[in-house]
A and B are shown apart, each in its own frame.
Chain A
Amino acid sequence: MRGKSTPKVTAELELTVNEKRVLLALDREASREEDQRSLSEKTGINEDAVMQTAFMLAQKGLCEIRGERKVYHHLTEEGKEYAEKRLPERRGLDLLPLPLPLQEFKNSFTDEKEANISTNWLLKKGWAQIEEKEGEKFLSPTGNTSWGCLGYNADEEFLRVVRGEGKLEESLLLYRVKERIPDLNDKWLNRILGELIKKRGLLEHNVEIKRRIAITETGKEVLSHGISVEEEIAQLTPELLRTGSWRGRKFKRYDVNLPSKEVFPAKIHPYQRILDRMRRIFTDMGFIEIKGEVVQSSFWNFDALFVPQDHPAREMQDTFYLSAKKPIDASEELIKKVKQMHERGGSLNSTGWRGEWKRELGEEQLLRTHTTAVTLRYLASHPEPPVKVFCIDRVYRHETIDPTHIPEFDQLEGIVMDKDVTFSNLLGCLSTFYNKMGFPAIRFRPGYFPYTEPSVEVEVYMRERGWIELGGAGIFREEVTNPIGVKYPVLAWGLGIGRLAMISLGLTDIRDLYQSDIEWLRKEQTGYSLNTE
């Protein structure tokens, strides 16, 4: 039928030069099957490329590829030893012209394992038997010394043949053994081969697949229409451009869908990109970034924040203290005011904590447990309004490391101090920040922190996770702002970043942020996206 020739024409058109060459080479030896090496020699294309081309041709139905499985045998280390020294049972037989006490027989081997092998196979092959005389076991020869075929030791022949060749294809191995023992039947032949491999571990094999390639009828038909092998341009060269010889030539067509070699652009750490995004949001909102020291005094980290001296957060189980104490880095006047504030509320209408405030506890040095130590110091040195600052930095808590806890993490702290700022302004700052981070739904719930009043906890909504608490905020208590000379409300928040980062990066183990798997860094997409849907 007419229609049948159409695909052939198409096929011809789509053949690459390599495909055409391979097809022609196959056709020249029409009746024979080719392997990749001979095809490579005939076409001048390297072996790998020949095979790839053959697969492409096979896909188009123009050739057939048959895989032939070949098993090659070689001796194991033990096999080599026995091939040289002979099998243990053979050496054992030499010791048995006459019956011998079993123990004495075994003792004549240097190696207990070999003595046992020898004994077992002597019995198994029926070359010897055990007799009991006066309570003692004797090993005595039976007179039989063949295995597999009368007059021969088939297993020894196997070892000898393989030893001579080093490595031998299975059918050839069986053929050689049969050459030596014509009367050995196939059942025994296979049984002994199996024994040598599986039971005795004297032979090992590996499997190679030999591919044979042959042209199909369709392939022949395509060729019968005639194909021309025109040299196609693979790589455009300066030479081709200069001489203009590229004109009128054919460019090799590439499969534009073929997978390419993976390359990765070097990147900023995904977590750093989240930190940068937060930084950007706050500067956009008109906040100035500030920084401070990692090592702080207990005074600035706790006392100036009106955290009572017996508060659990100040215990060794929660805070990293350093071994050395230092005089408090604040004026005597401020220290006195803080002391009075703790003890009975200073000059405010406050009761204070009603206990004695001890200076030496304020002198302890520690790794800051929150960046509030930094923002508070900034406030103390900038007591006049307005102040709008933020701080993104590392803080430390005495936590044992596990998938959800680490001893150091980053915190985002912000404050606004101005004449008429209110709690509703605090909620406004937090809403704007989380909206810009990609959370449309936010809610506020009552919270508690020793240094803020009113206090609030911020939660964002995520589908499938529900409401997630991400931060705490509040207005600094007057007990905090009064001693440092601040006269207006201070809106303040401290937001955990790690949890937000884990969610947005899809991590379940927070340690992964700080112990980077380079493969993850290579593959994690640069485009930051927070899936809050």
Chain B
Amino acid sequence: MFANFDFDVIRRSLGYLFLDGMTFTLMLTGLAGLGGLIFGTLIALMRLSGLRLLGRIAGLYVDLIRSLPLVLVIFWFYFLVPYIGQWLTGASRPVRVGAFVSSLITFIMFEAAYFSEIMRAGIQSISKGQPAAAQALGLTYSQTMRYVVLPQAFRNMLPVLLTQTIVLFQDTSLVYVVSIPDFLGAASEVAHRDGRLVEMYLFAAAVYFVISCAASFGVRRLQTHLAFVH
């Protein structure tokens, strides 16, 4: 059944696929995960701050982003980011933004909504006695969060955060819709250039599968490890 196929096309394009494509995908996943975690934590803190207006705004943002498909959000930011750049720098024309920066901003803003829900659950899982004890010790609100609540919340939620990062890794493939060359984009480019769609897409699927499987296996091991430590 594979008689007419040319799997050599994969070997010939390995350099491009991994050095360009996969590097883009992994960098995007890593930086967007980190940025999403930072902004997500800030959003979670806003929602739990007890300040009604701040909480409302954060809640609306999370609900809005979570009810939109990622593809639509990618389009939004792809067209919006140049205008935001223009507004920020006071330039006379919309600012040209590179593919990487544009998709990085998109994924940070998108993932922040999902990470914030995880961090919110993590913060709420900390028993009330912890912040109370911190206050009794004379720590300020930010010290309580920084040294007592957030480290524990982060630790408790680590498996969930990592699982979300695996989802993020898979979701980055959707930058395909704005023709940005991530791993899948690179595979698709070679596929169309050489007329080898079957070989390239099977290979891309296998690579995503192996990486995601390995990562989720790692998360499961971490989970059992954490369960023992507690």
Q: Do chains A and B stick together as partners?
A: no
A interface, CB within 8 angstroms of B = none
B interface, CB within 8 angstroms of A = none
